[in-house]
């Protein structure tokens, strides 16, 4: 079984600070585990129900988060959205001023002081106070590729489909490109849009998606399909042909890493790998 995907945010030593910051802004956010390297956060949960998992990784200065992948957050009161906007803006910057737009009575796009970007939108009919959905913006060389990407991703995982899609209309300079779309990957909801115009950012390792796999067959399948036209990296990381970064990881890895007698051998084994080899990890 391939488990539900979740995002990994890359930080230069400030993962815990960022997690605490988000926990003080979003009422449904909570830290579920932490160590010097990784902080795990949940967003959007409710009493008795787990939220959406987010990995926050202290990976060093090599990569930074940028607006190519943001979190779309729906709030059900004006007061709630205004409070979140004000706090996220502290030390950050506005990418689209919070205001009334054709698609919402109140919407704003903000980059916080840690580099993560959030699209806040008012939906007074929303059942829960906060809903979080990752949003991918296809710009530059991959502008116009959003629909192709959604079709590829949804072909690889069960319980996946393009749920809704709106294109730029005929007569528009971007006719046929994706204006807004929602899709499901293994029952996890995501948003995709083509971003016209000039942008100083594109997909990077600063925000990747993690897919945990039960067996080598699943790892091999995803690795082959996602690296086609893309590129391999180290330790289970890859970039697909659109530039989106993925981590294809065996679900057994945390268990192997938690064994003090073998954890260092496991680390040394996977540091030599591009694609994870479960048999080699278990022999370490």
Q: CATH number of the domain that 266 lies in?
A: 3.10.180.10
The parent domain of residue 219 ranges over 214-283
227, part of any domain: yes
| Closest of 135, 220, 150 to residue 183, by C-alpha | 150
| Closest of 100, 7, 91 to residue 51, by C-alpha | 7
Interior angle at CA 13, CA 8 and CA 17, nearest 5: 80
196, part of any domain: no
What's the rounded mean pLDDT across residues 91-106? 96
At 49 the pLDDT is 65
At 114 the pLDDT is 98
224, part of any domain: yes
Interior angle at CA 13, CA 258 and CA 133, nearest 5: 80
263, part of any domain: yes
What integer best gives the mean pLDDT of the chain? 94
At 48 the pLDDT is 60
65, part of any domain: no
101, part of any domain: no
Answer yes or no: is pLDDT of 108 > 70: yes
pLDDT tens-digit profile of 109-165? 999 999 999 999 998 877 667 899 999 999 999 999 999 999 999 999 999 999 999
2, part of any domain: no
Answer yes or no: is pLDDT of 73 > 90: yes
Split at pLDDT 50, 70, 90, the class of 46 is low
pLDDT tens-digit profile of 192-238? 999 999 999 999 999 999 999 999 999 999 999 999 999 999 999 99
208 vs 192: CA distance, rounded Å: 15
Q: Report how many domains make up the chain.
A: 1
The pair of three-digit structure tokens given for residue 57, joined into one six-digit string = 């990784």
Range with the lowest mean pLDDT among 11-25, 85-99, 112-126? 112-126
49, part of any domain: no
State the pairing for strand pair 38-43/30-34.
Answer: antiparallel
At 50 the pLDDT is 72
């Amino acid at each position: 079984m391939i488990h539900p995907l979740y995002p990994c945010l890359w930080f230069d030593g400030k993962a815990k600070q960022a997690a605490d910051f988000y926990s003080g802004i979003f009422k449904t956010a909570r830290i579920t585990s932490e160590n010097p390297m990784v902080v795990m956060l949940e967003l959007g949960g409710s009493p008795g129900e787990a939220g959406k998992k987010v990995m926050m990784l202290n990976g060093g200065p090599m990569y930074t988060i940028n607006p190519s992948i943001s979190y779309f957050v729906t709030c059900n009161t004006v007061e709630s959205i205004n409070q979140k906007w004000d706090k996220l803006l502290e030390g950050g910057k506005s990418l689209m001023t919070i205001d009334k737009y054709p698609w919402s009575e109140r919407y704003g796009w903000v980059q916080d002081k840690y580099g993560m970007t959030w699209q806040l939108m008012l939906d007074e009919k929303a059942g829960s106070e906060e809903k979080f959905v990752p949003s991918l913006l296809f710009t530059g060389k991959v502008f116009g590729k959003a629909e192709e990407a959604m079709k590829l991703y949804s072909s690889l995982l069960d319980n996946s489909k393009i749920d809704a899609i709106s294109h730029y209309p005929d007569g528009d300079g971007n006719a046929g490109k994706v204006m807004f779309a929602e899709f499901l990957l293994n029952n996890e909801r995501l948003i995709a849009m083509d971003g016209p115009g000039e942008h100083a950012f594109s997909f990077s390792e600063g925000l990747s998606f993690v897919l945990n796999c039960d067996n080598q067959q699943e790892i091999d399948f995803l690795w082959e399909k996602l690296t086609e036209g893309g590129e391999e990296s180290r330790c289970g990381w890859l970039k697909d042909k659109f530039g989106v970064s993925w981590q294809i990881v065996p679900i057994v890895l945390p268990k192997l890493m938690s064994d003090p007698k073998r954890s260092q051998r496991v680390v040394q084994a996977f540091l030599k790998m591009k694609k994870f080899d479960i048999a080699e990890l278990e022999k370490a």
